[in-house]
Structure 1
Amino acid sequence: MQLDRIDRKILSVLQREARITNQALAARVDLSPSSCLNRVKKLESAGVIGPYLAVLDLPKLCRSVTVIATVSLKDPSSESFRMFEAALKEIPEVVECDTVSGVFDFFLRIVAPDMVRYNQIVDRLFDLIPGKVNMSSHVVLEQGKPFRGFPLNELLEE
């Protein structure tokens, strides 16, 4: 999809302020409210925007442990990858999964209420492909820079 300067401005604003009113967004990007709304709907239908999510401050809500896990499958077949990824989708505590190149096959972000539950998840992952999953866990002690959007100005240079 080709994005013009105004589309880029819209995306930059929405990325930081998803709850902004259409009226305020239109003013920020120098468009009429109806033109702005049409552009936003076009970006949504193209799949460029969405879904809209609220960023939660988990420590204020509950106790939890966040673990970054690196996973390597000993069986590099596409069937093993698909089976593993499908199983991950069934575990709600696995909140992110990236398939990567290099020494590891996956990076997982797992958020569990405690280490007991985390260990249950690990056992479940090991049981998916018995003897063929290597996993290394890294407990997050502090999040120094949480994700707050993509650097669109740098990525979408004209």
Structure 2
Amino acid sequence: MTLDRINRKILSVLQQNARITNQALADKVSLSPSSCLNRVKKLEEEGLIDAYMAVLDLPSLCRSVTVIATVSLKDQSTEAFKLFSKAADEIPEVVECYTVSGAFDFFLRIIAPDMQRYNAINDRLLDLLAGQVNISSHVVLETGKPFRGYPLEQLLDEIKPAKK
């Protein structure tokens, strides 16, 4: 699928406001409502739009603790990585899990109702491969810049040939 200027604009607008009406979206990207809707459906079908989500103000809803955990596995086998990934995927409080390169193997973002529940999650992950898992926990004190979408303009910027 071609990501022309209009498709890029549609993605940018939807990323900032997924509840925008098709009419308003069409106006923002200078298309007819039917053409705009067709493009959005195509972007969804191609998997470029994966889901629509609301960004919740968690501190207003409930008490919680956010922990960034870095995980190192002593067993570097594919099976160990798959086992750990599967376990992390099955824990609802693990809201993000990345396999990474560098000093550790996984980066987790865990949001729990309290430290007691976080400790239970930590113990579950440690017991998964007894003696083979090292977890370093970092409690988030304040969120300076929450995730609010990808910088599409910078990421999709085409490399322009150098002038001769």
Please give the TM-score of this superposition, normalised by the length of structure 2.
0.95
1:39-50 mapped onto 2 (5 Å cutoff): 39-50=39-50
Unaligned regions of 5+ residues in structure 1, if any?
A: none
Equivalents in 1 of 2:88, 2:151: separation in Å?
29
Q: Which residue of 1 aligns with 2:161?
A: none
How far is the alpha carbon of 1:2 from its aligned partner? 2.4
Unaligned regions of 5+ residues in structure 2, if any?
A: 159-164
Percent of aligned pairs with the same amino acid: 75
Equivalents in 2 of 1:51, 1:66: separation in Å?
23
Q: Which residue of 2 aligns with 1:25?
A: 25
Equivalents in 1 of 2:18, 2:153: separation in Å?
18
Code of the aligned partner of 1:128: L
Q: Which residue of 1 aligns with 2:142?
A: 142
- What RMSD in Å do the two structures reach over aligned CA positions? 0.6
Code of the aligned partner of 1:149: G
Equivalents in 1 of 2:39, 2:103: separation in Å?
42
Equivalents in 2 of 1:83, 1:93: separation in Å?
17
Following TM superposition, the consecutive aligned residue runs of length 4 or more in structure 1 with deviations greater than 2 angstroms are none
Equivalents in 2 of 1:89, 1:147: separation in Å?
20
Count of equivalent residues:
158
What SS does the aligned partner of 1:96 have?
A: strand
1:70-89 mapped onto 2 (5 Å cutoff): 70-89=70-89
What SS does the aligned partner of 1:137 have?
A: strand
Code of the aligned partner of 2:37: L
1:44-123 mapped onto 2 (5 Å cutoff): 44-123=44-123
What SS does the aligned partner of 2:69 have?
A: strand
Please give the TM-score of this superposition, normalised by the length of structure 1.
0.98
What SS does the aligned partner of 2:60 have?
A: helix
How far is the alpha carbon of 1:89 from its aligned partner? 1.2
Code of the aligned partner of 2:25: L
Code of the aligned partner of 2:154: E
How far is the alpha carbon of 1:78 from its aligned partner? 0.7
